Amino acid sequence: IGVFDSGLGGLTVLKYLLEYLPNEDFIYLGDLANLPYGNKSQDNIIKYSIKCAKFLESKNVKAIIIACNTASSYAYDTIRNSIKVPIFDVISPCIKEIIYSKNKKVAILGTEKTIESNIYANSIKKNTSSIQTYNKACPLFVPIVEEGLEGTEITQSIIDYYLNDIRKEKIDKLILGCTHYPILIK
């Protein structure tokens, strides 16, 4: 099974895949040459994502998981239409979890492009009108993770800066709309 992300964040997805599919073999591709995707143009996100998917397809994988929310937001349909193996994204399972919960207020954290795509809020609203969503772009989170700065004072200051407004909303659920973000959970 092929898994790709713009960098290290997709390893958070791979960790769970290894746990839940212990008998499968995986190929992980972190596109460090084009990291981060979250501030790139839509055309470049699609171009980089197709290149990653085609590379994984060339390795005879039986499926590909787009372990990047930004790539999932902009390139999923294009990849699905240009690759012969099944393609999975990281957004759809999250949306299903949210719409079948009893949450009323959901905050969505993501890269600039993922938030700009409004994919989470639109998908939630398409399935239920009872959930209020709050979008927040957190563009500095990816570089923090890629540089190994999680757990530092400066990181805590940046997290506080991004989350101050959301804390006031008394949200029920927080969507970490980038696979880098779980590394900052603590």
List the catalytic residues. Answer: 68, 178
| Residue 107 near residue 121, CB atoms below 8 Å | no
Give the C-alpha distances (Å, rounded to integers) separating 19 from 15, 24, 169.
6, 10, 35
Of the candidates 49, 46, 56, the residue with the CA atom closest to the CA atom of residue 25: 56
Give the C-alpha distances (Å, rounded to integers) separating 55 from 4, 28, 144, 169, 180.
10, 11, 28, 43, 22
